Structure 1
Amino acid sequence: MTNVVIFPTLMIATAGFTITLVGAPITLQTLFVLLSGMVLGARLGFISMVLYILLGLIGLPVFANFQGGYGVIFGPSGGFILSFPIASLVAGLLTKYDNKYSYIISSLAATFIIYLIGIPWMAYILGWRLTETIGYMTVYFPGDVGKIILAILISNRLIRHNVIQT
């Protein structure tokens, strides 16, 4: 159970490594969301992401650019943050350690969940049309593909070498 704090800690430690754009900053958060589910499994991954959100909601500076509080959740990136537990859960449910394709499927599905919740939220908060927001979000796609590849490589290695015991 102590492994639950690993991924929120990594997210907090890298909260300052951001590229700020209108709406949502580019961060390493989604990499750790994917890894939390793929490495810890659905239940513990979900719990770790809920813990991360709760830390931010009580005001600790855990979100991108070391921000915290309800204002971040009710801002343009709030939908993405709120999607993290669900995305981690999906990544954990779809990852089967004996199937190399499950890593690809789980990370793609989890990333889709993040976009599915985050994009409409951002559109609503910013007063943009959904199609306009989707077009804007294409800037994030190459980085997210890179994070998916990293998540697959890292999780496979961590699991194969029993680095994290669940």
Structure 2
Amino acid sequence: MERKLRALDLTLVGMFVALMAIGANITSFVPFMVVGGVPITLQTFFAILAGAILGSRLGSIAMTVYMLVGLVGVPVFAKFGAGPSTIFSPTFGFIISYIFTAFIIGKIVEKKKSVTVYIIAAVIGMGVNYVFGTNWMYLAYKLWFTAPEGFTYKMAWLWMVVPLPKDIILAALAGIMAHRLERTVLSKGQFKNLKRVS
């Protein structure tokens, strides 16, 4: 039977919604996080942490709330985007993918809590983010958005090569960080049973 959301759960969901909003626009607050013209956004990083720290249920709820908050008009998406029209954006698939990313990572780490499992789960979650988001982007350009000249499926994936090394490193760091928190903070007190209800 599903348990109701506690005050602590709601607080953590709200915290991760805020972190996702900051991560989406980190270069607006910290301009030096642009390397070679490529912005180092932290949305995937925080989505991974949401699943690894909060678990499958609460992590996916947090990412769903983040998406809904943006869709109702709060500027929490990249470039402070918001509103229902963002559904038609070529990059909206990445926002949807954060829900699956958090859920899958949570399911994996709920079964075993070694640092290796956390890192593997984080990389798998990142892969889910890339596959879902890139395919959405390709379909968006082909079906309802104006595609660049000569746009192909291969080109869509080539675009993802640029942020890939950054995201792999951040995914591994997120896994390590979540494992450390599990060993210290999350295994004690009110946090003890936070992630174990699916």
TM-score (structure 2 length as normaliser): 0.75
1:85-136 Cα offsets, whole Å, 9 max, x none, are 1110001001145322211221111111111111111112233321111111
CA distance in 1, matches of 2:49, 2:153: 29
Task: Calculate the aligned-residue CA RMSD, in Å.
Answer: 1.9
CA distance in 1, matches of 2:73, 2:57: 25
Q: Give the structure 2 partner of residue 141 of structure 1.
A: 164
CA distance in 2, matches of 1:136, 1:73: 21
Does 1:119 find its partner at 2:134?
A: yes
CA contact (8 A) 1:73 1:81 kept: no
CA distance in 2, matches of 1:84, 1:125: 18
Higher mean displacement: 152-161 or 57-66:
152-161
Q: Give the structure 2 partner of residue 129 of structure 1.
A: 152
CA distance in 1, matches of 2:21, 2:84: 17
Q: How does 1:2-151 map to 2 (within 5 A)?
A: 2=10, 3-18=12-27, 26-95=40-109, 96-126=111-141, 127=147, 128-151=151-174
The share of aligned pairs that are identical, in percent, is 36
- Deviation of 1:44 after TM superposition, in Å, equals 0.3
CA distance in 1, matches of 2:70, 2:172: 27
Q: Give the structure 2 partner of residue 22 of structure 1.
A: none
Letter in 2 for 1:99: S
- Distance 1:17-1:81 versus aligned 2 partners, 3 A rule: same
- Deviation of 1:58 after TM superposition, in Å, equals 0.1
- Deviation of 1:73 after TM superposition, in Å, equals 2.6
CA distance in 1, matches of 2:175, 2:167: 12
Structure of larger gyration radius: 2
CA distance in 1, matches of 2:127, 2:23: 23
- Distance 1:71-1:27 versus aligned 2 partners, 3 A rule: farther
Higher mean displacement: 140-149 or 8-17:
8-17
Letter in 2 for 1:101: T
CA distance in 2, matches of 1:85, 1:124: 20
Question: What is the aligned residue count?
Answer: 162
CA distance in 1, matches of 2:129, 2:84: 19
